[in-house]
Amino acid sequence: MSISNGKSISLKELAALCGGRVVGDENVVVSSIASLDVAKAGELTFLTGTKNFSDISESLKTNKIAAVITSENIPDLPVPSIRLKNPHLGLIAALNFFRKEVKISYKIHPTAYVSESATVASDAIVGPNAVVEDGAIIGAGSHIEGTAYIGRFAKIGSNTHIHPGVKILDDCVVGSNCIIHSNTVIGSDGYGFAQEQGQHIKVPQLGNVIIEDNVEIGACVTVDRATMESTVIGEGTKTDNHIHIAHNVKIGKKCLIVAQVGIAGGATIGDYVVIAGKAGIIGHVHIGTGSTILSCGIVTNNVPEKSYISGFPAKPHQEELRIKGALRKLPDLIKRVKNLENKIDEEK
Amino acid sequence: MSISNGKSISLKELAALCGGRVVGDENVVVSSIASLDVAKAGELTFLTGTKNFSDISESLKTNKIAAVITSENIPDLPVPSIRLKNPHLGLIAALNFFRKEVKISYKIHPTAYVSESATVASDAIVGPNAVVEDGAIIGAGSHIEGTAYIGRFAKIGSNTHIHPGVKILDDCVVGSNCIIHSNTVIGSDGYGFAQEQGQHIKVPQLGNVIIEDNVEIGACVTVDRATMESTVIGEGTKTDNHIHIAHNVKIGKKCLIVAQVGIAGGATIGDYVVIAGKAGIIGHVHIGTGSTILSCGIVTNNVPEKSYISGFPAKPHQEELRIKGALRKLPDLIKRVKNLENKIDEEK
Amino acid sequence: MSISNGKSISLKELAALCGGRVVGDENVVVSSIASLDVAKAGELTFLTGTKNFSDISESLKTNKIAAVITSENIPDLPVPSIRLKNPHLGLIAALNFFRKEVKISYKIHPTAYVSESATVASDAIVGPNAVVEDGAIIGAGSHIEGTAYIGRFAKIGSNTHIHPGVKILDDCVVGSNCIIHSNTVIGSDGYGFAQEQGQHIKVPQLGNVIIEDNVEIGACVTVDRATMESTVIGEGTKTDNHIHIAHNVKIGKKCLIVAQVGIAGGATIGDYVVIAGKAGIIGHVHIGTGSTILSCGIVTNNVPEKSYISGFPAKPHQEELRIKGALRKLPDLIKRVKNLENKIDEEK
């Protein structure tokens, strides 16, 4: 599958869009981009990383690829290229240039329900069978897709894209330039119960969720509302799918949270924290700014700034690696100890 | 964010509501509650746990906090307090008193679809773009929120709250006083296939799910229907988000199941079992009443009553702790054994 | 709960349906099936596995069970039986015979929204408050249940069942004879960002998802669209619930993927691969055809065909078992080494 929309662009123009430098004929014109494995004659492609460049050069020639977006430090190629220090910026520019425009023929679709007490900006879109409840506010240029639900007194900023099936529940706030992917739930009740005489008595969850600007949240994510106050996801943070963010969690700015992570109640997370897939953070701990938690790491204590941790309990990754390496030697170690015991016994 | 609704209450009245005891001026009147970190002058707050009480006392005075709900064994405070053995009961009473009333202007919303063969109690609410299919029954006082779906011949008891996007599928039964959070699925097919000549042939999943009274289920949870018979969630059990409960599982009464737990097919779980986050239970095992499975524990065998287990495979927590402690010494242990081997070799 | 629909069948006829062999009176007629624990007088039941057959024989007689579907190698039973090499084929035939027919009185429900530019086969069904967007195609005999969403230019093959709340997003393709369970999302954006000057800049995700024929996908699953090209789920693959399949993943034919598995971006998976619950696969690795990844295994490297692996990092299961066995001896091993050290010290 190539990405194209009928438009063409010269390498010179595309390089200008992304701040790149053309090596080779800058007048070459391309009208589609495809990934390296499947690009066809005349197409633009993207090359990064540590690959076998002699094979790739051969295949670029054989397949008559028109041009390549790549990084400054990739060796010479037999076709024209746009070079950037960060080649992904070139890829992004090309994808944005070649993306198909989605034409939407409605503003508020007739099958949508928008409460009379809700406020929807005149250029916002509310899709088929979506719901915007009492007192909700939808900002300029935002798009509430079909079957999405915006609860009572929820606020959506401007130019935010709420995908099908998303639930933004009562009183929650989503900033501007956010993207929330399908079937994610913002503002479900926190998990809080008092134990009394063998009963679990619900602690009312009356706070909300605040999602700051430029946040992207994956599909099937849940962010629980705070008991009082707000669960917060900071500016520019991006999450993958199937993440659980419990009540009263505060996540800082520009964090990256990968799929199937769980963050328990009251945890606080600094800025620029990276949490890899399937990791977990127990309740009420603090993760310092700039830290990285590797895949499956379970954090059970406060973590200082710029920590690089893994394992359960999470510890400095070098220590975890030493333990994992040692573990593979353990069955043999048991034999060696038995052997030593025998030798010592014999000596007596 | 303070929790308030325009109503005021004296400490004397609030103490009566929750069975607490006022220390200090019982005529102090409060009209909002906020958490300790953000409470402002004149507000009620909540204090629990093992904190630095001299700092807190100072801040309560400085911030002119009106009163504190706290436990009997917290030291003297410089402002009036309501004391309870279980202070969360006081918090619950205050939150319930100060919660905003949600006013809903419709019974069956005009954009909802309710089948002619469905039965909806006269005081039940069915929200915008919700669906109640053929033969479904919705009990008195229940609230089916917008975009929720109640399948064919499903039964919802009384005073149950089905949040937006929940799917209660065909033939499933939800009791009274239940809460099911957004985008949860009750009654998806169990995962069952017969292998024959390289094909996976679907075993029809024709049973249902029965959720007993007073159950609360988090967001994005799935509970699969039984092959035959019923998958059961017992009275008073409360689950967090992103939990997978497979077909033919039977969960007892008043269990607590935390986020991202997975319970495989046919497992049976006693009463008052606690399963912490990310834990897993393999198929067809039994967890005895009163057991606790700690975070990330993977249970691979039957577990007697009142077990307290962790690890993979799950084992008594003390044993798991010993192993985890020993693991940190393992890299060093390998060196020590090498050292011993060298010494023994030298001796010869 | 027994499975019945008012129809009756003789053992002779049922055996003919499933290729079984009747032992005992083939004229016995049954009109319901129930599982062994709860079957009542006159009912058909199903017996498999390694159970206590003398107790079961006794209970079959006592409970006056009419007949049993079982395997060829089960001992003689005191009631008639249908014997098969693969008894699940008999169970499947009986369940299909006794399943209740769901009668649906509409084709395109009046509350559904179907775009004028969409194409819905004349015998396809689109349920209440479902959405079929511009340019989408729904094949013959397919059923889009209430509140489901089919995006712009998405294609659904024939005889495919899309359950309530499922989102098939723009440009995605679902084959024929597929089942997609509730609240699953097909085609959410892949998780891709370029880092530049402390910003996370979104890489547009412009590819799609292709789900081949005969695929079944569980509830609350997410399958992300490819950046360019397609994320692919191969013919006959069956997944359980809460699975994350990232962008550009290619899954082969007839795989089985159990609940809460995560598969990171660009991973490729051969045919007939089994991935057990909570396992994970990191990005860009290849899993060879016929491999099995056991529960909670985390695959961090390419895996050859027919591997049987577990642990983190995943390794041959026998090796993982040896390590797990050795681990339980580790606390004791530390004592033994201390003991040896003392002995050696003493000797000096």
Per-position b or e across A296-313, b if 16+ CB within 10 A of its CB: bbbbeeebeeebebbbbe
DSSP H or E segment with residue C188: strand C185-188
Q: For A259-312, give the DSSP string.
A: TT-EE-TT-EE-TT-EE-TT-EE-TT-EE-TT-EE-TT-EE-S-B-TT-EEETT
pLDDT above 90 for B97 = yes
What's the whole-number mean pLDDT along residues B146-156? 98
Report the interhelical angle of B317-347 vs A317-347 (nearest 10°). Answer: 60
Across the interface, of A199, A220, A229, the residue whose CB is closest to B35 is A229
Is A199 close to B236, i.e. CB distance below 8 A?
yes
Is C333 close to A334, i.e. CB distance below 8 A?
yes
Bridge-based pairing of strands A81-84 and A21-23 is antiparallel
What residues of A are labeled active site?
247
Establish if B310 touches chain C: CB-CB under 8 angstroms.
Answer: no
Across the interface, of B170, B226, B262, the residue whose CB is closest to C260 is B262
What's the whole-number mean pLDDT along residues B118-127? 98
Task: Tell me the shortest Cα–Cα distance from C257 to chain A, in angstroms.
Answer: 16
- Banded model confidence at residue A339, pLDDT cuts 50, 70, 90: very high
Establish if C333 touches chain B: CB-CB under 8 angstroms.
Answer: yes
Radius of gyration of chain A (CA): 26
Q: C141: buried, middle or exposed (CB in 10 Å: 19+, 13-18, 0-12)? A: middle
Per-residue pLDDT of B31-60, as tens digits, reads 999 999 899 999 999 998 767 778 889 999
Residues in Cβ contact with A88 at an 8 Å cutoff, skipping those fewer than 6 apart = A48, C194, C196, C201, C203
What's the whole-number mean pLDDT along residues A195-222? 97
Neighboring chain B residues of C218 at a CB cutoff of 8 Å: 188-189, 191, 222
Residues in Cβ contact with B141 at an 8 Å cutoff, skipping those fewer than 6 apart = B121, B123, B124, B158, B159
Neighboring chain A residues of C284 at a CB cutoff of 8 Å: none
Neighbours of chain B (3+ CB pairs under 8 A): A, C
- Cα distances (angstroms) measured from residue C274 to each of B46, C92, C239, C291, C306: 51, 22, 10, 6, 10
Distance CA A158, CA A139 (A): 4
pLDDT value at position A15? 98
Is A218 close to C220, i.e. CB distance below 8 A?
no
Determine contact, residues A220/A238, Cβ cutoff 8 Å: no
pLDDT value at position C52? 79
Comparing alpha-carbon positions, the chain C residue that sits nearest to B346 is C344
Is A133 close to B111, i.e. CB distance below 8 A?
no
Q: A244, B312, B320, B324: which is closest to C312 by C-alpha?
A: B312
* Residue type present at position A332: D
Per-residue pLDDT of A253-280, as tens digits, reads 999 999 999 999 999 999 999 999 999 9
Listed as ranges, residues in chain C with pLDDT below 50 are: none
Q: Which of C247, C284, C286, C317 is catalytic?
A: C247
Share of chain B above pLDDT 70, in %: 99
Across the interface, of B131, B189, B199, the residue whose CB is closest to C128 is B131
Establish, for the pair of chains A and C, how many residue pairs have beta carbons separated by less than 8 Å: 197
Distance CA B186, CA B215 (A): 13
Distance CA C149, CA C132 (A): 6
Neighboring chain B residues of A208 at a CB cutoff of 8 Å: 1
Is B272 close to A198, i.e. CB distance below 8 A?
yes
Neighboring chain C residues of A37 at a CB cutoff of 8 Å: 229
Neighboring chain B residues of C96 at a CB cutoff of 8 Å: 204
- State the average pLDDT for chain B: 96
Is B189 close to C183, i.e. CB distance below 8 A?
no
Residues 39-68 of B with CB under 8 A from A: none
pLDDT value at position B50? 67
Is B295 close to A282, i.e. CB distance below 8 A?
yes
Across the interface, of A3, A147, A340, the residue whose CB is closest to C206 is A3
Q: Is C89 helix (H, G, I), strand (E, B) or coil?
A: helix
pLDDT above 90 for A52 = no
Is A183 close to B163, i.e. CB distance below 8 A?
no
Residues in Cβ contact with A197 at an 8 Å cutoff, skipping those fewer than 6 apart = none
- Banded model confidence at residue A30, pLDDT cuts 50, 70, 90: very high
Comparing alpha-carbon positions, the chain B residue that sits nearest to C326 is B323
pLDDT above 90 for B174 = yes
Establish if C35 touches chain B: CB-CB under 8 angstroms.
Answer: yes
pLDDT value at position A54? 82
Residues 14-33 of B with CB under 8 A from A: 33
What's the whole-number mean pLDDT along residues A25-46? 96
Q: B291, B256, B250, B283: which is closest to B269 by C-alpha?
A: B250
Q: A88, A56, A81: which is closest to A67 by C-alpha?
A: A81
What residues of B are labeled active site?
247
Residues 64-93 of A with CB under 8 A from B: none
Q: For C129-180, give the DSSP string.
A: T-EE-TT-EE-TT-EE-TT-EE-TT-EE-SS-EE-TT-EE-TT-EE-SS-EE
Neighboring chain B residues of C327 at a CB cutoff of 8 Å: 323, 327
pLDDT above 80 for A170 = yes
Is A129 close to C147, i.e. CB distance below 8 A?
yes
Task: Tell me the shortest Cα–Cα distance from C194 to chain B, in angstroms.
Answer: 29
Is B208 close to C146, i.e. CB distance below 8 A?
no
Provide φ and ψ at A52, rounded to 5°: -85, 95
Bridge-based pairing of strands C131-132 and C113-114 is parallel
DSSP H or E segment with residue B91: helix B87-98
